[in-house]
Amino acid sequence: MYKIGYIDEDKGWSNTFYQYFKEEFDIVLIDISSETTIESIISDIKKNELDAVIIDFRLDESGMVNFNGDAIAESLMKINPHFPIMMLTSYEQDAIDHVEDVNIINAKDILDGEKPEKVDVLKAKIHSNINNYYTKIRKSENRIEELNEKKNDGTIEPAEEEELVKLYMYIDEVYPDDKRIPANLIQPGAITKLDEFVSQTKEILKQLKKKKD
């Protein structure tokens, strides 16, 4: 059973979420109080070793905190941009205006008890997001093992070596506290290619942002 966190300043909504999802997931309710900070929430998520987190968007309604769910999502993505995050809200348009990945946004009215089939859909989406997350990690680690064998016996191609660097970069993002890129992999040639790759990626993002603005 996957362990997921639910973050909401309204204890009533937290209890409702728990009742709907307790048979499917091991649920950790992360409380919001006047002393809560984004850092304390991130600490709770790490401490509980969650597989995913579901966040209410409007956390500042009660006045206990001065931030909303988008700030938590943004902080989590800076740590691990691949971690499964979903957001529930009664203010979808407001959330869309503030959240970078609009695909994580879901209407909160599915918890009002009138549309149980939508609750089932959300359960399936949570399961799918977590499954995909761990499947990609497993496939990446298996591919790293394959490429390392080729590197060790001297049969690795330049394109495969570049692929290996990118795979290690991905794994390092998934496990930010456990850096795994071997020193012998980052050779002058690999660093040059990596710098070029990063520069190209930054330029593409810059152009996309201009179009969006």
Task: Return the CATH number at 10.
Answer: 3.40.50.2300
Q: Do 55 and 154 share a domain, yes or no?
A: no
Q: Among 47, 74, 80, which Cα is nearest to 171's? A: 80
Q: What's the pLDDT score for residue 83?
A: 96
In this prediction, residues 115-122 reach a mean pLDDT of: 87
**120 shares its domain with 168:** no
Share of the chain above pLDDT 70, in %: 83
Q: What is the pLDDT of residue 114?
A: 78
Give the chain's domain count.
2
Q: What is the mean pLDDT of the chain?
A: 85
Domain boundaries, position 114: 3-131
- pLDDT for 183 equals 46
User: Does residue 77 share a domain with residue 172?
Assistant: no
Work out the percent of the chain whose per-residue pLDDT is above 90: 53
Q: Which residue has the higher pLDDT, 210 or 69?
A: 69
Answer yes or no: is 136 within a domain: no
| End residue of a domain, out of 99, 131, 163 | 131
Q: Is residue 177 part of a domain?
A: yes
Which of 29-43, 88-102, 188-202 reaches the highest mean pLDDT? 29-43
126 plus 157 within the same structural domain: no
One domain for residues 108 and 147: no
Judgement on whether residues 11 and 73 belong to the same structural domain of the protein = yes
Radius of gyration of the chain (CA): 20
| Residue 211: pLDDT over 80 | no
Are 136 and 82 within 8 A, CB to CB? yes
66 and 19 together in one domain: yes
Pinpoint the alpha helices (H) of 6-68.
11-21, 38-47
Indicate the pTM of the whole model: 0.80
In-domain check, residue 158: yes
